[in-house]
Amino acid sequence: MKGGYDHFMMKEISEQPDSTFNTMRGRIDFKNKNIILGGIKQYLSSIRRSRRFQMIACGTSYHSCLAVRSLFEELTGVPVSVDLASDFMDRSPPIFRDDTCIFVSQSGETADSMQVLKYCRAAGCLNVGVVNSVGSSISRETDCGVHINAGPEISVASTKAYSSQFIALVMLALKISNNVIDNRERHEEIINGLEEIPNLISKVLDKKDEIRDISLKYLHGKDSMLVVGRGYQYASALEGALKIKEISYIHAEGIQAGELKHGTLALIDDKMPVVAFATQDSFSPKVNSAIQQITAREGRPIIIMSEGDKMIDQSKASACIEVPKTVDCLQGLVNVVPLQLMSYYLSVAAGNNPDRPRNLAKSVTVE
């Protein structure tokens, strides 16, 4: 069942070159740069008429929505709101008939998300699912959708579902916006980037021993840590911190790098462990300045950086993990893998069972 791995979680992390490929299989014509999503075909014109996209999810699935939000807005020109299902229900905000609500869920059974789906059905908007489990409640009760085809995810900590949700949402944004001529070059760049993703994830997985050694040396036994990222990497920071909390039981907080000076810098000293996402993109100057703010206060971050990047000052880092570079909006698919691996190794080192974290269930069917 575990395919030679000690835990389902490691099996599922390691499966990502295949699971991400399967999400795209039959849906991306890489030669002609075309996206085929059978599940939304009939509803495409209604989706394109929407004045707003409202994404709803919980936990890791919520982070996959945050990871693609700016790409959605860039390509479609339509505002995107992303809400935690529980918070959405607490507010019960207005939903219009010309909204498209996108429900993202691995299990398709999460009670909070189902509750919002009922609310949105009553409001008369179009409801689209992005779901792993075929035949689940969300898959059945949405008007249409996209199955992410990641295969069964057994470990409570979600890993391969995250990368596949991320890709399914990117494909959805590409499909919705492929009638806009101005997008053509960007579309081609992203589709070419998607083709490379399984291979790039494999390259990060090849570094797992290095990532284990760094985690054990600098993070094992700590009570608390920060994970810092900005722009496309803010979602990676939140998701990385959730993984660490969930299975290693170390308090971890995902921080938007621009927010450091609004409070969190007060926590930085030579004892506070920090992981910083600093792969190259248009936000790099700002991220590098945030790293300087950290090192100036004796923080010694572990930096996730692009291979061969000469702009990163490695002299004051505890360690640097080099990852392959891809298109800016897809980089999170590569960057999240070291954090998945770190959380796994920290969990095992702490004597925990990463597949069955205390107090948590795989599918949260109560509100």
User: Which residue in 138, 205, 237, 329 binds ligand UD1 (CB under 6 A)?
Assistant: 138
Structure tokens at 230: 């900005």
Residues 345, 62, 322, 260: is their CA dihedral positive or negative? negative
User: Between 117 and 304, whose beta carbon lies closer to ligand M6R?
Assistant: 117
Q: How far is the CB of 332 from ligand M6R (least distance, A)?
A: 16
User: Between 22 and 326, whose beta carbon lies closer to ligand M6R?
Assistant: 22
Q: What residue 147 binds from ligand UD1, ligand M6R, none (CB within 5 to 8 A, per partner kind)?
A: ligand UD1
**How does DSSP assign 15-59, residue by residue?**
THHHHHHHHHTTTEETTTTEE--GGGGGGHHHHHH-SEEEEEE-H
Strand partners, 303: 276, 320
Q: How far is the CB of 120 from ligand UD1 (least distance, A)?
A: 13
Element spanning 207, H or E: none
Residue nearest to ligand UD1 (CB): 129
Structure tokens at 31: 């030669």
Residue with tokens 């998945």: 340
Going by C-alpha positions, the residue among 367, 364, 337 that lies closest to residue 107 is 364
User: What character string, x for contact with ligand UD1 (CB under 6 A) and - otherwise, covers 333-362?
Assistant: ------------------------------
Of residues 264-283, those binding ligand UD1 (CB under 6 A): none
Structure tokens at 144: 């249409």
Instruction: Compute the distance between CA of residue 11 and CA of residue 153 in angstroms, rounded to an integer.
Output: 10
Q: How many residues bind ligand UD1 (CB under 6 A)?
A: 12
Of residues 155-184, those binding ligand UD1 (CB under 6 A): none
Instruction: Compute the distance between CA of residue 22 and CA of residue 152 in angstroms, rounded to an integer.
Output: 12
User: Which residue in 3, 38, 77, 93 binds ligand UD1 (CB under 6 A)?
Assistant: 38
Instruction: Compute the distance between CA of residue 160 and CA of residue 17 in angstroms, rounded to an integer.
Output: 9
Residue ranges in contact with ligand M6R by CB under 6 A: 58-61, 105-107, 110, 113, 156-158, 242, 246, 363-364
Q: How far is the CB of 53 from ligand M6R (least distance, A)?
A: 18
Q: How far is the CB of 342 from ligand M6R (least distance, A)?
A: 14
Positions that interact with ligand UD1 (CB under 6 A): 38-39, 129, 131, 134, 138-139, 142, 144-147
